[in-house]
Chain A
Amino acid sequence: MKQPILRAAFLLLGAASISTAPALAADVVELKQPSAAKVVVMLRFQNGSASDPKGKEGLAFLTSQLVTEGGTKELTAAQLKDKLYPMAARYGARTDKEVTTFTFEFHRDFLTQFYPVLKGLMLTPSFTQEDFARLKSNQLNYVEQVIRASSDEDYSKFALEDQLFRGTRYQHMTRGTAAGVQGLTLDDVKKFYAQAYGKNNLTIGISGNYPESFVQQLKKDMDALPTATVKPEVPKVAAPKGVQVEIVSKPDALGSAVYAGFPIETTRAKDDFAALMVANSYLGEHRKSYGKLYDKIRTARSMNYGDYSYIEWYEAGGNNMLPVPGVPRHANYASIWIRPVQIAEGLRKQYPTELGDLKVGQAPFALRLALREMDGLVKNGMSKEDFELTRTFLRSYTKLYGLTSAKQLGFMLDSKFYGRKDWLQELDGQLAKLTLDDVNKAIKKYWQVQNMYVTIVTDDSEAQPLADVLKNNTPSPMSYAKVVREGLPKEILTEDEQVANYKVNVTGVKVVDTKDTFK
């Protein structure tokens, strides 16, 4: 009774045995796991939203969605969904600035049944007007409404990139701009598909339990892809002169969400990236309570839910506890994420007798504190003890980046992007070799607090008073409730004084209405 599966597998093997001769274009990365239940196939093309033609921002994203949400030459989208339903196979596309990754995950029992679908979607996608209209409408809705009204944290992060990469092809969100998405046509999609996904810019990743013949078949079939003729435009941006602040003003925000960043010229491709990882982990490891920023802003002062720092793009930090692959980039920047802190209106309401005449909430204090911490590291470096502990942490912690085979495979594909064989594997050796001096050199080389961009998404009642404080570098004393202030140790109160008067090198402050973002 199991014959159908066996027969199909045999056919596949047969096909493989004749496909050895021609040299095939696509690179292949394999992660064999003979006892796994799943097979994961990733097709990584070196084109993303930075490849969007001017005026068509959002095209790469929409094209990738249309490939995975539509049908094939043989099956309509509805027939395809019917066929796949009992298999619970999953697939989807992730479009980042420079790459687009199609990921297919299916149970190994369905290898032969699922494969024609994968092949059909990639080589002969149906691209119907119906699917196009639906997906374009959803994408436009995200750009116009959802991003402004769901997570102010993501909002401030995208708004920071808008500032940091202004005038370049990195500026817009991967989902595009309102005007860009509005103007997209089905012909644009078809054209981009033909230009962007080619055998010459494809890396194939396969993990799990699969026969060798499957690899050969996949390589052979993907060789039918055309030659890609477009490339992402990678920007080279410099830090601004001074600290440039943009405040996005929106109605009914309960807090101020802050993101700050400046370009850095290192990536996983360079060996000193590991050194900077140690410094960054010490300052603000993502979603960990032992970073300095978290310790001072959240633990000691109870100002928000968390505070972290980054030396590369971190996908969906509000959801992901560990980094995800599929977002490698050549143009890089360092950043600080301060989760929403209280605005004056909220504090006045909560503590009318103590803080009733407060004009500005906690954002200026939080920003000053974060920059001062980074500044301190630039000036003084890390201590030997902190260096050792942080390195020990990272040598274990980074082993969790590839907990599932899909993530491991994704990081291997990212490694190729950076010209490495297997960055996660190599990282442990790089960390082991590091000295304190390497780390402190990397800090001095890449970090500074004089020149950067800051984006703050906040309530319309807070925007102008906040802008005034930052523009004039007015001292911003911490506004504690009495219940918290009473028990604070003296060191904290002394440090508060210094933070409140810490000079930020602000050279420009602009208030932007939420309606005018991502246009």
Chain B
Amino acid sequence: MKHTFWALGLAACLLSAGAPAARAQQAAKGAFPYAIEQSQLPNGLKVVTVPYASPGLASVFLVVRAGSRDEVEAGKTGFAHFFEHVMFRGTEKYSKEKYDEVLKSLGAAANANTSLDRTVYHMTGNARMLDKMLEVEADRFQHLKYSEHDFKTEAGAVKGEYTKNSASLYTQLNEKVADAAFDQHTYEHTTMGFFKDVVDMPNQYAYSKVFFDRFYRPEYTTLLVVGDVKAAEVNQLAQKYFAGWQRGSYVPNMKQEAEQTAPRYVHIQNANFPPLLSLSYKGPAFSDQSKDLPALDVLMTLLFAENSELYQQLVVKEQKVRFVGGAPNMTRDPYLTSIRASVVKADDIPYVKQRIVQALEEAKSKPVDAQKLADTKSALKYGNLMNLDAPDNIANALSEFIWLTGDVQSINRYLALYDQVTPADLQMVAKKYFVPEHLTLGTIGPKDTGGVQ
């Protein structure tokens, strides 16, 4: 009975999250509760509009499908992120000072961020200023102009960002884990890049031009507008400001990572920080056609949720762990599926590892209870829906699917896969991905080893 109830509750929720008429129609199409309108300019730029009731406000996102994954040349790690900074250095028409003045007059919250697979430029502000927002964004995407001096100066700010981040041992461990887990693929470095490359950035002016020429192209980019706007208006402005943008031709030559054949291990010795255990298994690439990632997501939610057996044992009853959690990553190429536990006493790291591995092994052989599966699917869907409550939050959710596949509609294809996940799928993905030879272990602890190598 409870099962049916939840299923119905979920349907009711999907039907009711937007404006009455449109939402019913949309819900029939997919799990994402708002209508998505997508078009494409002849130069390849995709234009996506999602009308949303945020009176007077809109979010404008430009999603560039280039991130640290695309830093294929040696010595150039961290460049996608560095370039994100350079994009704020001005054009012929709008110098850095003028651009800032325009932004200030728009009163928008504007910024950018870079990750493994993408760089996102975003602005949330007055929807009636949409014309100006698109004008200045289109201008710098097509006509960026910066002097060698400005370029060198910006390199110092990037080193400052590295300096700020490096205060966290978690950041340091992430760097080490990625470096150990990958040998060929560019996922071996984090988005900040290797420190030696960050230090060398002032000398890379010529390369920066190459980088801009390769990736700041319409076929790499999607314009996404969410909020108090209409698709016709967005499309017309996109045509006005972006139609002259020339298509490029570059395709990065990605190296495939060879199969890992033995577990790997990294450690940071520090007596003044809570001990940490991380287990990173090679995971799947994103696909909106395969159930692997949804099944992994469901499985890991179920294994590490606060009401899970493992969490209740390690965190609540034994109190050997302060926090344990894990989730697969959504990435274009196969990356890592990571589990982390903040351990109270470093001596317990081997025990905690053994308990986590035991839970993963059990997931391979023991089918999950149908009710538990249904509850987990409900938790994930409601969790997602609860996040979609502001134009920038909605744009953030959509932009992920844009950078993963280049097609915003993949969000509905992907979410639909969750309904098909069965207990057998959970066992299948556990066997396929929690492979001991594919593991990179990371620890932080007071001794020169975490004791789990």
Beta-carbon contact of A87 and B111 below 8 Å: no
Chain B positions 240-281 with a Cβ under 8 Å from a chain A Cβ:
270, 272-274
Chain A positions 295-335 with a Cβ under 8 Å from a chain B Cβ:
295, 298-305, 318, 321-322
| The residue from A37, A110, A152, A399 contacting B17, defined by CB atoms under 8 A apart | A37
Does B71 sit within 8 A of A, measured CB to CB?
no
| The residue from A137, A339, A397 contacting B344, defined by CB atoms under 8 A apart | A137
Does A36 sit within 8 A of B, measured CB to CB?
yes
A481 to B159, CA, bound (A): 13
| The residue from B6, B101, B111, B163 contacting A342, defined by CB atoms under 8 A apart | B163
Across the two chains, which residue of chain B brings its CB closest to A395? B107
Beta-carbon contact of B156 and A484 below 8 Å: yes
| The residue from B100, B124, B315, B378 contacting A289, defined by CB atoms under 8 A apart | B100
Given the interface contacts A35-B53, A86-B375, A149-B273, does A340 sit within 8 Å of B164 by beta carbon? yes
- Write the B7-27 contact mask toward A (1 if CB under 8 angstroms, else 0): 011001100111100000000
Does B437 sit within 8 A of A, measured CB to CB?
no
Beta-carbon contact of A37 and B16 below 8 Å: yes
Beta-carbon contact of B202 and A484 below 8 Å: yes
Beta-carbon contact of A305 and B160 below 8 Å: yes
Beta-carbon contact of B149 and A488 below 8 Å: yes
Q: How near does chain A come to B370, taking the closest CB pair, in angstroms?
A: 13
Beta-carbon contact of A390 and B104 below 8 Å: yes
B203 partner residues in chain A, CB cutoff 8 A? 483
Does A501 sit within 8 A of B, measured CB to CB?
no
A517 to B168, CA, bound (A): 18
B100 partner residues in chain A, CB cutoff 8 A? 289-290, 295
Does B147 sit within 8 A of A, measured CB to CB?
yes
B155 partner residues in chain A, CB cutoff 8 A? 302
Does A1 sit within 8 A of B, measured CB to CB?
yes
Beta-carbon contact of B160 and A255 below 8 Å: yes
Q: How near does chain A come to B114, taking the closest CB pair, in angstroms?
A: 14
A287 to B164, CA, bound (A): 14
A85 to B381, CA, bound (A): 12
User: Which size class do A's interface residues fall under?
Assistant: 35 or more
Q: How near does chain B come to A348, taking the closest CB pair, in angstroms?
A: 13
Beta-carbon contact of A253 and B156 below 8 Å: no
A456 to B43, CA, bound (A): 51
Beta-carbon contact of B322 and A389 below 8 Å: no
A4 to B1, CA, bound (A): 11
Q: How near does chain B come to A452, taking the closest CB pair, in angstroms?
A: 23
Q: How near does chain A come to B91, taking the closest CB pair, in angstroms?
A: 15
Given the interface contacts A137-B319, A287-B111, does A487 sit within 8 Å of B152 by beta carbon? yes
**Listed stretches A18-26, A76-84, A160-168, A468-476; interface member:** A76-84
A302 to B1, CA, bound (A): 63
A288 to B96, CA, bound (A): 13
| The residue from A81, A300, A340, A393 contacting B105, defined by CB atoms under 8 A apart | A393
**Listed stretches B174-182, B354-362, B390-398; interface member:** B390-398
Q: How near does chain A come to B375, taking the closest CB pair, in angstroms?
A: 4
Beta-carbon contact of B16 and A397 below 8 Å: no
Given the interface contacts A85-B307, A342-B159, does A2 sit within 8 Å of B147 by beta carbon? no
A96 partner residues in chain B, CB cutoff 8 A? none
Does B126 sit within 8 A of A, measured CB to CB?
yes
- Write the A109-130 contact mask toward B (1 if CB under 8 angstroms, else 0): 1100000000000000000001
Given the interface contacts A107-B13, A300-B153, A404-B390, does A397 sit within 8 Å of B109 by beta carbon? yes
- Write the A375-413 contact mask toward B (1 if CB under 8 angstroms, else 0): 000000000000001101111110110011110000000
Beta-carbon contact of A35 and B164 below 8 Å: no
Beta-carbon contact of B147 and A487 below 8 Å: yes
Does A134 sit within 8 A of B, measured CB to CB?
yes
Q: How near does chain B come to A407, taking the closest CB pair, in angstroms?
A: 8
Does B389 sit within 8 A of A, measured CB to CB?
yes
Beta-carbon contact of B107 and A397 below 8 Å: yes
User: Which size class do B's interface residues fall under?
Assistant: 35 or more
Given the interface contacts A37-B13, A141-B322, does A85 sit within 8 Å of B126 by beta carbon? no
B305 partner residues in chain A, CB cutoff 8 A? 81, 85
Given the interface contacts A137-B319, A137-B322, does A304 sit within 8 Å of B5 by beta carbon? no
Beta-carbon contact of B8 and A2 below 8 Å: yes
- Write the A476-504 contact mask toward B (1 if CB under 8 angstroms, else 0): 00000101101110000000000000000
A486 partner residues in chain B, CB cutoff 8 A? 149
A346 partner residues in chain B, CB cutoff 8 A? 163
Chain A positions 225-262 with a Cβ under 8 Å from a chain B Cβ:
253-255, 257
Given the interface contacts A403-B390, A404-B389, does A133 sit within 8 Å of B319 by beta carbon? yes
- Per DSSP, chain B at the interface is helix
Does A90 sit within 8 A of B, measured CB to CB?
yes
Beta-carbon contact of B105 and A389 below 8 Å: yes
Beta-carbon contact of A109 and B9 below 8 Å: yes
Does A105 sit within 8 A of B, measured CB to CB?
yes
A131 partner residues in chain B, CB cutoff 8 A? 316
Q: How near does chain A come to B341, taking the closest CB pair, in angstroms?
A: 13
Beta-carbon contact of A149 and B307 below 8 Å: no
Beta-carbon contact of A303 and B386 below 8 Å: no
Q: How near does chain B come to A218, taking the closest CB pair, in angstroms?
A: 20
Does A146 sit within 8 A of B, measured CB to CB?
yes
A141 to B56, CA, bound (A): 45
A389 to B386, CA, bound (A): 36
B322 partner residues in chain A, CB cutoff 8 A? 137-138, 141
| The residue from A106, A152, A299, A487 contacting B167, defined by CB atoms under 8 A apart | A152
Beta-carbon contact of A396 and B106 below 8 Å: yes
Across the two chains, which residue of chain A brings its CB closest to B7? A1
Q: How near does chain B come to A42, taking the closest CB pair, in angstroms?
A: 15
| The residue from B5, B378, B385 contacting A4, defined by CB atoms under 8 A apart | B5
Does B154 sit within 8 A of A, measured CB to CB?
yes
A304 to B4, CA, bound (A): 56
Beta-carbon contact of A148 and B272 below 8 Å: yes
- Write the B88-128 contact mask toward A (1 if CB under 8 angstroms, else 0): 10000000100011011111110100000000000011100
Chain A positions 37-63 with a Cβ under 8 Å from a chain B Cβ:
37-38
Across the two chains, which residue of chain A brings its CB closest to B172? A252
Q: How near does chain A come to B312, taking the closest CB pair, in angstroms?
A: 6
Beta-carbon contact of B379 and A85 below 8 Å: yes
Across the two chains, which residue of chain A brings its CB closest to B161? A305
Beta-carbon contact of A146 and B274 below 8 Å: yes
Q: How near does chain B come to A45, taking the closest CB pair, in angstroms?
A: 25
B153 partner residues in chain A, CB cutoff 8 A? 299-302, 484, 487
Does B166 sit within 8 A of A, measured CB to CB?
yes
Most central of B16, B53, B388 by chain A CB within 10 Å: B16
Across the two chains, which residue of chain A brings its CB closest to B380? A88
Beta-carbon contact of A254 and B166 below 8 Å: yes
Across the two chains, which residue of chain B brings its CB closest to A392? B105
A346 to B316, CA, bound (A): 43
B317 partner residues in chain A, CB cutoff 8 A? 130
Q: List 15 A-B contacts (CB under 8 A).
A: A78-B316, A86-B378, A107-B13, A107-B385, A108-B16, A130-B317, A134-B315, A288-B104, A299-B96, A318-B164, A322-B109, A400-B125, A403-B390, A484-B156, A487-B147
| Additional A-B contacts beyond A35-B18, A389-B105 (4; CB < 8 A) | A303-B160, A340-B160, A390-B104, A484-B153
Q: Give the A-binding residues of B (Cβ under 8 A).
A: 4-6, 8-9, 12-13, 16-19, 33, 53-54, 56-57, 88, 96, 100-101, 103-109, 111, 124-126, 147-150, 152-157, 159-164, 166-170, 199, 202-203, 270, 272-274, 305-307, 312, 315-317, 319, 322, 344, 374-376, 378-383, 385-386, 388-393
Q: Give the B-binding residues of A (Cβ under 8 A).
A: 1-2, 4-5, 35-38, 77-78, 81-82, 85-88, 90, 105-110, 130-131, 133-134, 137-138, 141, 145-146, 148-153, 253-255, 257, 287-290, 295, 298-305, 318, 321-322, 339-342, 346, 350, 389-390, 392-397, 399-400, 403-406, 481, 483-484, 486-488
A-B CB proximity, top 3 nearest:
A396-B107, A487-B149, A302-B156
